[in-house]
Amino acid sequence: MTQATVGAQEVEFSWRRVVGLFAPHRRRVVGVVALVLVGSVGGVVNALLLRVMFDDGLFPADGGDVRFDTVVTMGLIMLAVTALTTSLGVVQTVVTNQLGQDVLRDLRDRLYAHLQGLSLSFFASSRTGDLQSRISSDVGGVQTAVTNTLSNMLSNTVVFIGALVAMVVLSVPLTLLSMLLVPLFVVAARWVGRRRATFVRQTQEATSAMTVVTQETLSVSGITLSKLFGRQDHEIQRFSEANERLAEVAVKQQVIGQSFFTVIQAFLGASPILIYMVAGFVLSNGDDSITAGTVVAFTTLQTRLFFPVARLLETGVELQSSRSLFERIFQYLDAEADVTEADDAVTLAPELVRGDVRFDDVSFVYDAADSEENGHPALDNVSFSASPGQLVAFVGPSGSGKSTVLSLVARLYDPSSGAVSLDDVDLRDLELASLAQSLGFVTQESYLFAGTIFDNIAYGRPGATETEVEKASRAAAIHDRIMEFDDGYHTVVGERGFRLSGGERQRVAIARVLLHDPKVLVLDEATSALDTASERRIQSALDELVSGRTTLAVAHRLSTIQAADIIHVVEAGRIVESGNHDELLALGRSYASLYQEQFGGGTIETVCSDGTVFSDGRCEYFAASQN
């Protein structure tokens, strides 16, 4: 199953797979089974003791006086059995719920860990709200099935068999009479189960849709957008429609189940009346094979028979309903990771990494449909190299494949053909942790978690000291701004770093990468969304970051990459030109056209943002002036 189509694929489902979730907890499963077996026998034993109390104690068969000692003895034994089974029931409830919650915890951990291992193609085709729904709502929805199914099925089966045997011993004709309607229950339960499973699936889909709306519209970005465009009423309507759909299917789900079990409960209440009537008919015809004790014991056992049947049918309905949820969960668990680590992956010591990056005839397509629709792959036989200390830049029109190059360097995807290597090691053969340690990535919109500034900077190096974090912040030209906050480095930045400006978020991200200290630096439009003042500060921080590293950069502003050692011009997934700034201008082709578009025939002065000029006549940031 490909990640891009996971939502549309049918998952291979089996209850054996569900049972396998309990495998790590075998000992407690055995303990639950033992508790259930012992506790389930109590009700049957008491019914038989009740017959003895009636026929030998209260209404002796020989017509003698009431035998109070027999009544007391049977009563005490029944009280002891009840106390024992009740105590065991409490223990069973505790153990069963602990077992169920541990299984659900393991399932959530497994699902989340699996999602973390999937590549970007999966998340590009998924909605965050749906992911959240499956981890929380779907896993929570199977709680009843996971927590109570095993104990319910086992205890009710034992009670049913025990009650049936005891009823046969008491009266075969009455037993046959009592069993006539059981097949009808089974048929009805299967129909109800299938219908309810459909509504459960629809309920979870409606829940997921409402979660998506909530996640999109109540985030900081979403609520800002709706306020700016005056779309609050529209978003309220969206939520209301999703909420109404959820309410409709939830009602159907509950009604179809409760109606069925109401009928069952009504039958359980009426069935003893039928037994009394039959017993009265038999006794009125002079047949004394049925005693008062037999009738009382039998009706007691009858409840012990039909109640387990009803519970088993209810469990069956719950299982059929839970199947829809398990299918949704397994659908994600069965999504295959596009990027995996080889069993014999190579580990590179961080201090030994040189930073040689190479592309050898690399082609890449996001999926077949994408290739057919656009008429070309995202990358088509791309080859280049970047040596330690070099700044290699990529320019070209939007959608040409520049950012795809950087994604492959970070191994967010694997190439469809060809190879990407670091220090002559194919990234597919390299340990993922080694690549992460060797690589630093700065994007146009750097993501910040809703924690403190310190936590965000130290994210890639959790053990960093305050001194190390401050040093990285000073290098990124953000320390002074941080100290203006009342809580300094312990300031909570809010969702996606909303309390900081775009330039401040970018400098925090650069400080994070500086602290990480990678040998290979990847810059994806790191300054294109910033104003001139912010860009100058960011560029100063980038100068510190780029120094001594292998740097690969994508930029729309040619002014930010004029000093690059090599500039590759990318068009339609191919590198069509390569060289430095002067060489590419001299060619008078694609790069020269981009230059003309941006500067209208003007000149680029090699003047740094602070007014100085580098010894080689170029600098990382320079101002443009038009003729």
Tokens read off for 501: 């400006």
Q: Please tell me the predicted confidence (pLDDT) of residue 418.
A: 94
pLDDT of residue 427: 93
Query: What is the per-residue pLDDT for 618?
Result: 38
Residue 63 has pLDDT above 70, yes or no: no
Helix (H, G, I), strand (E, B) or coil at 399: coil
pLDDT grade, residue 541 (50/70/90)? low
Q: What is the pLDDT of residue 420?
A: 95
Per-residue model confidence (pLDDT) at position 363: 93
What CATH number is given for 3-333 in this structure?
1.20.1560.10
**For the chain, what is the mean pLDDT?**
77
3-state secondary structure of 361: strand
Between strands 357-364 and 379-386, the pairing is antiparallel
Dist CA 266 CA 306 (whole Å): 11
CA distance 402 to 568: 9
Residues in contact with 359: Cβ distance below 8 Å, sequence separation at least 6, in sequence order:
382, 383, 384, 385, 405, 408, 418, 419, 420
The encoded tokens of residue 121 equal: 């193609």
Backbone angles phi, psi at 272, to 5 degrees: -60, -30
Residues contacting 177, CB < 8 A, separation 6+: 274, 275, 278
DSSP states of 456-507 as a string? HHTTT-TT--HHHHHHHHHHTT-HHHHHTSTTGGG-B--GGGTTS-HHHHHH
Q: Are 215 and 129 in contact, with CB atoms under 8 Å apart?
A: yes
Confidence band of 574 (pLDDT split at 50, 70, 90): very high
* Angle 175-178-179 from CA coordinates, rounded to 5°: 90
Question: SS3 letters for 85-148?
Answer: HHHHHHHHHHHHHHHHHHHHHHHHHHHHHHHHCCCHHHHHCCCHHHHHHHHHHHHHHCHHHHHH
The torsion angle over the Cα atoms of residues 8, 12, 14 and 17, rounded to 10 degrees, is: -100
| Sequence spans of domains, the chain | 3-333, 350-450+520-625
The predicted model gives 232-244 an average pLDDT of 82
**Which residues make beta-bridge pairs with 394?**
554, 568
Overall size of the chain counted in residues: 627
Separation CA 174–CA 177 (nearest Å): 5
Local structure of 397: helix, strand or coil: coil
DSSP 347: P
* Whole-number CA gyration radius for the chain: 36
CB 273 within 8 A of CB 146: no
pLDDT of 12 reads 61
Q: Which among 603, 576, 598, 601 is positioned nearest to 587, based on CA atoms?
A: 576
The pLDDT tens digits of the residues spanning 562-571 come to 888 999 999 9
Q: By percentage, how much of the chain surpasses pLDDT 70?
A: 78
100 touches 147 (CB < 8 A): yes
**How far is Cα 306 from Cα 177, in angstroms, rounded to an integer?**
13
What pLDDT is stored for residue 425 in this prediction? 92
Residue 119, pLDDT above cutoff 60: yes
Q: Are 510 and 476 in contact (CB under 8 A)?
A: yes
60 or 363: which carries more pLDDT confidence?
363
Q: What is the pTM of this model?
A: 0.66
Q: Has residue 375 got a pLDDT over 60?
A: no
Kindly report which listed range (110-114, 311-315, 404-408, 496-500) carries the lowest average pLDDT score: 311-315
Q: How many CA atoms lie within 13 A of 452 on its CB side?
A: 13
Q: Is the pLDDT of residue 212 over 70?
A: yes
For residue 565 the two structure tokens come to 């050692």
Triad 192, 198, 201: Cα angle to 5°:
135
Q: Which residues contact 81 (CB under 8 A, 6 or more apart)?
A: 42, 45, 46, 49
Query: In this predicted structure, what is the pLDDT of residue 186?
Result: 67
How far apart CA 45 and CA 50 sit, in angstroms, is 9
Average pLDDT over residues 246-250: 82
* CA atoms lying within 13 Å on the CB side of residue 206: 20
Q: How confident is the model at residue 422 (pLDDT cuts 50, 70, 90)?
A: very high
The per-residue pLDDT for 9 is: 53
Confidence band of 122 (pLDDT split at 50, 70, 90): confident
pLDDT in tens, 264-281: 666 666 677 777 777 777
pLDDT of residue 587: 87
560, HSE (Cβ side, Cα atoms, 13 Å): 27
Hey, what are 45's tokens? 């034993």
pLDDT bin (cut points 50, 70, 90) of residue 494 is confident
Cα angle value 599/605/609 (rounded, 5°)? 105
pLDDT at 10: 55
Q: Which CATH superfamily is domain 350-450+520-625 in?
A: P-loop containing nucleotide triphosphate hydrolases (3.40.50.300)
DSSP per-residue letters across 60-85: -TT-----HHHHHHHHHHHHHHHHHH
Burial class (CB in 10 A: 0-12, 13-18, 19+), 578: middle
Question: Per-residue confidence at 394, pLDDT binned at 50, 70, 90?
Answer: very high
Say whether pLDDT at 110 is over 80: yes
Question: Do residues 507 and 538 make contact, with C-beta atoms less than 8 angstroms apart?
Answer: yes
Rounded Cα distance, 574 and 383, in Å: 9
pLDDT tens digits, residue range 130-168?
A: 777 777 777 776 776 777 776 777 777 777 887 788 778
pLDDT tens by residue, 582-622: 899 888 888 888 888 877 654 444 334 444 433 333 333 33
